[in-house]
Homo-oligomer: A and B are copies of this chain.
Amino acid sequence: MNLPPLVQTFVLHFGEMGSRWGINRTVGQIYALLFISKEPLNAEDIVERLGVSRSNVSMGLKELQAWNLVRLQHKPGDRRDYFSTPDDIWQIVRTLVEERKKREIDPTMTLLREVLMQEPASAEERHAQERMREMHDLFELLTGWYADVQRLDTERLVQLLTLGSKVQKILEMKDRLFVVPGSKKSRRDDPKDK
């Protein structure tokens, strides 16, 4: 591995972290390297810096492209493919969340919906379905929130995150100011309330 020490620490760390995230070490390292590079890199650059085989880099880049995590671009008069990550780190977060949702949440929701359609054949199955219903509703709430928040532009998203639970205070204030007392509790208690 042929990298400045400071960069190497970072790259090695993301290589190790990769395995916790369902991507392999090399893919993690390639991504980390592209992330901290000022200029886009071609495959041969990556081979030299990480000290892995050309074919390994090729497969790693293919996987990163499947995740939409890298951009492919070209330099004038140079046939090689150059890769980079978006400059905007929030764009990276959005892509990551979107792709993980697509791979993990969506198939799980499909399965849950299928299983919940079936008729339970025993008390055991009935209870199992109840639990799956809870999980289904939870995922629905979370993905609904995500779909909503994802549409915000970054400035507003940051504003929202910075506030954190202080939003709560504002909600309480809103309630005190605007909600008709009698209707307040029932509206708030139903998670499906839009």
Which A residues contact B (CB, under 8 angstroms)? 4, 6-7, 9-10, 13, 17, 19-22, 35-38, 89-90, 93, 103-104, 107-108, 111, 114-115, 118, 120-125, 127-129, 131-132, 134-135, 138, 141-142, 144-145, 147-149, 151-152, 155-156, 158-168, 170-171, 173-174, 188-189, 191-194
Instruction: With CB as the reference atom, state the residue of chain B lying closest to A112.
Output: B10
Are A189 and B155 touching (Cβ within 8 A)? Answer: yes
A14 to chain B, nearest CB (A): 8
A sample of 15 cross-chain residue pairs with beta-carbon separation below 8 angstroms, ordered by A number, consists of: A17-B104, A35-B131, A36-B128, A36-B132, A89-B134, A89-B135, A145-B161, A147-B164, A159-B171, A160-B165, A160-B171, A167-B167, A170-B170, A170-B171, A173-B174
Question: Of all chain B residues, which has the CB nearest A173?
Answer: B174
Question: Interface on chain A toward B: helix, strand, loop, or mixed SS?
Answer: helix
Task: Give the docked Cα–Cα distance between A164 and B152 (Å).
Answer: 10
Choose from B9, B89, B103, B121 the contact partner of A111 (Cβ within 8 Å). Answer: B9
Distance, CA A9 to CA B6, complexed state (A): 47
* A124 surroundings in chain B (CB, below 8 A): 4, 7, 38
The 3 closest A-B pairs by CB, nearest first: A148-B164, A36-B128, A20-B22
Q: Identify the closest chain B residue to A142 (Cβ).
A: B161
| Chain B residues positioned under 8 Å from A193 (CB to CB) | 162
